Homo-oligomer: A and B are copies of this chain.
Amino acid sequence: METSAQTKFPLVVIVGAGFGGLEVAKGLADKPVEVLMLDKHNYHVFQPLLYQVATGSLEAESIAFSIRKNFGSQKNFRFRIAEVMGIDAKTNTLDTTIGDIKYDYLVIATGSTTNFFGNKDIEHYAMPMKSIPEALNLRYLILQNLEEAVLQKTKEDREPYLNFVLVGAGPTGVELAGALAELRNHVLAKDYPELNKEHMNVYLVDFLPKVLGPMSDEASKGAKEFLVKMGVEVMLNTKVESYDGTTIKFEDGKTIRTRNVIWSAGVMGVIPKGITDEHIVRGNRIKTDAINRLEGFENIFAIGDVAAVITEDTPKGHPGVAQVAIQQGQQVAKNLVAIIKGEPTKPFKYFDKGSLATIGRNKAVADLGKIKFQGFFAWLIWMFVHLVSLLGFRNKIIVFINWIGSYINYNGGTRLIIRRFVRDDVPEDAKHLPQTES
């Protein structure tokens, strides 16, 4: 169906429209190549703000950007909604939901998904949050559980609906915990006169001894203080043993009755079939060389969360963060053009621009090289950086307005249940929510 026979230019197929894939495509504008991008969805998600969609502060669509619209003016770019079911490296062919696609160069940029570490119960009952549908499902579950809580007659019945346990104290867990704490402290009693903040508990759990493990001690300490001040119970050095949908058990024997367990305790690469085991390393990532290429292949590259650039300097690859994916994407685009022109390529070198994490609606922690700070000023930087990186002027304005609204009065946001969310096998999920949907 899609072949490069149509023009004299080589066809670069990019699988995945995340941060990395987008940069490759952008970097190939006006170059002597054809670009075909594939993604399961027709939009790019700005993942750092997913947690705000999950807690009803932002519309899902303000952090998503239509791929076709984004590349509308790039002449050598084509897009198809498709999923890659397999890769036949011998014949340079992708097996996809829209048929076979022959590539000249392949860039795998499929990102990562939630890692439940093999625990099937937790995978079944806990809520992940790495995509828009997952963030929306989480929002609906939270709001449904608040509605159910209002209907309960005793404290004991009410408890599981209002206990929120976040497993994984990385940026995602910390940011979610902060947002839930804001909901509890400032929105709950207003929206639900029958409830008050004493009824609701937010727990942040991690088996490590610090929150925001990859960040500095100052950032970690600052974040923990902010969280505790907001009323979050931070449980470190705590490992989850099991979760059955209503009670979560920890290895130290402690239990919490809860219908809200959000799992952001690990990620793993999303690898299309056809990449054989010798290319796969820890965390289910594809091992590549310094120019993001798979060993033994001239024309297959992998970037971003799904990849691990294994070199002497980086024996474990790089962190699974947006900047790595962006910079690798930019370098791969340049290297592809170099390869096509017969010029030398350049190895990937990560320039760490720093880390940011936000806690609640006006505090953040920032590690910017040697400079580290925590608090309101860090939050201004966080807001600025994220607004600038967000795709689309319209989206920037809409997100900005939402944030200003939330800053002025906590009561911003969009706490709407658009679709009833029910998990298989969870007793009484959305028990009282009307069945008919239209």
Residues of A within 8 A of B (CB): 1, 40-43, 59-62, 64, 66, 68-69, 72, 78, 80-83, 97-98, 113, 128, 131-134, 136, 143, 147, 150-151, 190-194, 393-394, 397-398, 401-402, 405, 411-412, 414-419, 432-438
CA distance A398 to B404 in the complex (A): 13
B133 touching A437, Cβ below 8 Å: yes
Chain B residues positioned under 8 Å from A405 (CB to CB): 393-394
The 9 closest A-B pairs by CB, nearest first: A83-B434, A68-B191, A59-B61, A61-B414, A43-B416, A40-B434, A59-B59, A72-B190, A98-B432
Q: Which residue of B lies closest to A113 (CB)?
A: B438
B131 touching A417, Cβ below 8 Å: no
A191 touching B416, Cβ below 8 Å: no
A414 touching B191, Cβ below 8 Å: no
Q: Which residue of B lies closest to A65 (CB)?
A: B416
Chain B residues positioned under 8 Å from A433 (CB to CB): 81, 97
CA distance A69 to B193 in the complex (A): 11
A401's partner among B60, B69, B151, B397 (CB-CB below 8 A) is: B397
What would be 6 A-B contacts, judged by CB atoms less than 8 Å apart? A60-B61, A69-B190, A69-B415, A80-B150, A80-B151, A83-B434
Chain B residues positioned under 8 Å from A415 (CB to CB): 42, 66, 68-69
CA distance A132 to B437 in the complex (A): 10
Q: Which residue of B lies closest to A74 (CB)?
A: B193
A432 touching B68, Cβ below 8 Å: no
Q: Which residue of B lies closest to A398 (CB)?
A: B398
Chain B residues positioned under 8 Å from A194 (CB to CB): 78
- Contacts A61-B59, A143-B42, A434-B97 hold; do A68 and B151 have CB atoms under 8 A apart? no
A41 touching B83, Cβ below 8 Å: no
Chain B residues positioned under 8 Å from A97 (CB to CB): 432-435
Chain B CB within 10 A, most for which of A128, A136, A398, A402: A398
A81's partner among B61, B66, B434 (CB-CB below 8 A) is: B434
CA distance A89 to B128 in the complex (A): 46
- Min CB distance A81 to B, Å, is 5
- Min CB distance A142 to B, Å, is 12
CA distance A398 to B396 in the complex (A): 11
Q: Which residue of B lies closest to A58 (CB)?
A: B61
CA distance A194 to B80 in the complex (A): 11
B191 touching A66, Cβ below 8 Å: yes
CA distance A197 to B263 in the complex (A): 46
CA distance A405 to B62 in the complex (A): 14
- Min CB distance A393 to B, Å, is 8
CA distance A192 to B419 in the complex (A): 30
A133's partner among B147, B412, B432, B438 (CB-CB below 8 A) is: B438
B42 touching A147, Cβ below 8 Å: yes
CA distance A436 to B41 in the complex (A): 10
B151 touching A98, Cβ below 8 Å: yes
A78 touching B436, Cβ below 8 Å: no
CA distance A109 to B192 in the complex (A): 23
Chain B residues positioned under 8 Å from A193 (CB to CB): 78
- Min CB distance A25 to B, Å, is 14
Chain B residues positioned under 8 Å from A417 (CB to CB): 41-43, 81
A83 touching B416, Cβ below 8 Å: no
Q: Which residue of B lies closest to A38 (CB)?
A: B434
CA distance A113 to B438 in the complex (A): 10
A69's partner among B66, B69, B81, B191 (CB-CB below 8 A) is: B191
B432 touching A412, Cβ below 8 Å: no
CA distance A193 to B150 in the complex (A): 52
CA distance A24 to B211 in the complex (A): 50
A418 touching B40, Cβ below 8 Å: no
B418 touching A136, Cβ below 8 Å: yes
